[in-house]
A and B are shown apart, each in its own frame.
Chain A
Amino acid sequence: MLDLPEWSGHRAGQHLDVRLTAEDGYRAERSYSIASPPGEPVAITVERLDDGEVSPYLTEELRAGDALELRGPIGGYFVWGPEDGGPLLLVAGGSGVVPLMAMLRHRRAAGSDVPARLLYSSRTLEDVIYRGELDELGAVVVHTLTREQPPGWTGYSRRVDAELLGEVAWPAAQDPRVFVCGPTPFVETVAGTLVELGYPPQRVKTERFGATGGR
């Protein structure tokens, strides 16, 4: 949670850049999606990467009350508000769920009746972020666990493919708004498959993040 006196307010789906400067002047900068909905204090979700330059500091060194150099809010493409309509199809790979969570929280806070589905791919159940809250959003949330499933798991247990998307995604004829966020190969597979299923490319908005650093 960040206390930002000069924050101009953000939209669901936007991110911010965090810049760290070492004593010798070396700088590292990473982007983090904003997890909180518009109108609420800015919160980011940081996944710690063992070989990261920024995330180990943010997750281990940073203490409440410390100051951070930030830039944002950023982005006018990967954003959604209730006025944009739906139905809404959100597809997340790993921590790509963060900006989509801001959209779902915004939808709930605004009392929007836009139908929403989230397809969320994680490696294991332990990797699922916001596990408890996801069930309380008034959206259909479909999980797939690609690496390991707990005993008795009844959800999907494979990588997102055409068959899975065909079962979960709204029919293209309903003109859904789509947001896909995750690692680059995940995003390319999902977006390409949705276009094959008849979704117009301009309706499928994408945001890619790398394996090291960034969203």
Chain B
Amino acid sequence: MEALDGNAIGGLLQEVFGVELTAAPGVCGSCGARRPVAELAVYLRAPGTVVRCPSCDSVLMTFVEVREVWSVDMRGLSELEL
């Protein structure tokens, strides 16, 4: 499956966090790579949305919506600068 990038989840992030986050730098908890959310690899067609580190492929964030409630897992990120 072809990856998109973090621009594609700008609207989702705005809905979940209430702020624009595509320009916010995030740090991968596995390899330490630091880059804006817009540059992360995004898979929209997984069950839910999966965000991976383009450097080491680790899962950084997952988003699943069930009955209009978002389940968000960000354990793969060591840092996200708001």
Contacts and interface: CB of A to CB of B under 8 A. Distances in A.
B23 A77 contact: yes
Given A76-B23, A77-B22, A77-B38, A184 B11 contact: no
Contacts of A29: 11
B78 to A, nearest CB: 20
Contact of B14 (A74, A208, A211): A74
Contact of B4 (A16, A205, A214): A214
Given A205-B38, A206-B39, A207-B38, A75 B7 contact: yes
What range describes how many residues of B lie at the interface? 20 to 34
Interface string B6-40: 11101100110000111100000000000011110
Interface residues of A, number: 23
B3 interface: yes
A31 B8 contact: yes
Given A76-B23, A77-B36, A208 B11 contact: no
A211 B2 contact: yes
14 contacts: A31-B7, A31-B10, A71-B14, A71-B15, A74-B10, A74-B14, A75-B38, A77-B38, A78-B22, A78-B38, A206-B38, A214-B8, A214-B44, A215-B8
Contacts of A76: 10, 20-23
B37 A77 contact: yes
Nearest to A19: B11
Given A15-B7, A76-B20, A206-B5, 20 more contacts: A15-B10, A17-B11, A31-B11, A71-B14, A71-B15, A74-B14, A74-B22, A75-B7, A76-B22, A77-B7, A77-B37, A78-B22, A184-B3, A184-B4, A205-B38, A207-B5, A208-B4, A208-B5, A208-B8, A215-B8
Contacts of A41: none
Among B4, B10, B21, B23, which residue has the most Cβ atoms of chain A within 10 A?
A: B10
Interface of B: 2-8, 10-11, 14-15, 20-23, 36-39, 44
A46 to B, nearest CB: 17
A210 interface: yes
A210 B3 CA distance: 8
Contacts of B22: 74-78
A155 to B, nearest CB: 28
Nearest to B15: A71
Given A184-B2, A208-B3, A75 B8 contact: no
Q: Which 8 A-B pairs have the closest CB atoms?
A: A77-B38, A74-B10, A76-B23, A17-B11, A77-B23, A77-B22, A76-B20, A74-B11
